[in-house]
Amino acid sequence: MSDIGITMLGSSGSGKTCYMLAMYAVMSTGIRGFTFTTQDPDDDLDLADDWERLEVNGTWPDPTTQSKDWLFDCSYGFKKIKGFKWHDYRGGALTDRSKPDDRKVLLQKFKNSSCIILCISGEVLVDGRPRVPKEVRQFNTLMTQFRKETGKTVPVVIVVTKSDLCKDIKKGVEVIKENMLSTLFTQGSGWLTMICPVSLGTGSQDNFEVYPENVHLPVTFAIFHALQKDINDTLSAIKANKRQVMNKQFEVNQLGNSLFKAWWNKGDIADEQYAIESLQQSTGLKEADCRTLQRNLELLKNELLGDNLYMYHDGRRFAL
């Protein structure tokens, strides 16, 4: 099963890098058997160092000046469920006309993503009067363009970072839906969206207590939907295998439908039967894969049950 691409968008200072560090800090140790690990162990050391500086010294990471792709695996019981490529880019790349290459690369990654995560700082949702960052305004346009150019929709997670600063999150959700990103919540739009408040902790910049909350849920949502797709693909492959087996069984019957033919074609019949066995073995393995995928899906689903998550499809709220 192939890895998925996740692009995180958001204005400079919205907390994209901090979110990724917190997510990794929590998930690299794991929750209920689930872990996220870097595919390159060296990246693990870099992320751990950055997180340690934040957690121990209270040193916030510098604004990202270079874009980078991080490769992670989501695993259950150390067994890889899904790999995902996380594109951490320079905040402001979308709107900075002085560096058109950055914007071009970002848009390309955006189009090839299996899930888009948009960071909106809880700070802009304070007092019920939204200050809509430039990147967020652009986002509506981007999603429409995405739909037009690719002909598809992908799951979108709107991460409300610094949610501890937003006093009324329910009001904040309404602001996002009605004022900021209405494109994603229009009936008939086909978008699958989740609004997820996350927090790194509480306190002021100088006196901050690190206590990450919900940081693993956005990626969990992305992987959940990727697994659903994998299950559908596997079921199609099983169906194709079974069709092939039926065809070969018919051929075997044709080859051996008389005593003489059965003797004359003994070798070919043995070959076809061997091929049928191999196909049946392959089907068995795919069925086992499917069961594993379904089991993993159920496990991930348990993480996504909760009133603090706002999931919408085609503009209508739903729960898993």
Q: Write out the residues near another protein by the rule CB under 8 A.
A: 28-35, 37-39, 41-42, 44-45, 48, 52, 55-56, 73, 75-80, 266-267, 270, 274
Q: How far is the CB of 27 from another protein (least distance, A)?
A: 10
Q: How far is the CB of 104 from another protein (least distance, A)?
A: 29
- Residue nearer to another protein on the CB measure, 151 or 267: 267
Q: How far is the CB of 20 from another protein (least distance, A)?
A: 16
- Residue nearer to another protein on the CB measure, 76 or 89: 76
- Residue nearer to another protein on the CB measure, 100 or 284: 284
Q: How far is the CB of 79 from another protein (least distance, A)?
A: 6
Q: How far is the CB of 80 from another protein (least distance, A)?
A: 4
Nearest CA-CA partner of 22 in 8, 33, 11, 12: 8
- Residue nearer to another protein on the CB measure, 25 or 143: 25
- Residue nearer to another protein on the CB measure, 50 or 135: 50
Q: State how far the Cα of 303 lies from the Cα of 293, in Å rounded to an integer.
A: 16
Q: How far is the CB of 13 from another protein (least distance, A)?
A: 26
Q: How far is the CB of 245 from another protein (least distance, A)?
A: 18
- Residue nearer to another protein on the CB measure, 70 or 139: 70
The per-residue DSSP string of the chain comes to ---EEEEEE--TTSSHHHHHHHHHHHHHH-BTTEEEEESSHHHHHHHHHHHHHHHHH--PPPPP-S-EEEEEEEEETTEEEEEEEEEE--TTTTT-TT-HHHHHHHHHHHHT-SEEEEEEEGGGGGGG-----HHHHHHHHHHHHHHHHHS----EEEEEETGGG-S-HHHHHHHIIIII-GGGGSTTS--EEEEEE-EEEEE-SSSEEEEEESTTHHHHHHHHHHHHHHHHHHHHHHHHHHHHHHHHHHHHHHHTSSHHHHHHTHHHHHHHHHHHHHHHHHHHHHHHHHHHHHHHHHHHHHHT-STT-EEEETTEEE--
How do beta strands 34-38 and 68-76 pair?
A: antiparallel
- Residue nearer to another protein on the CB measure, 35 or 114: 35
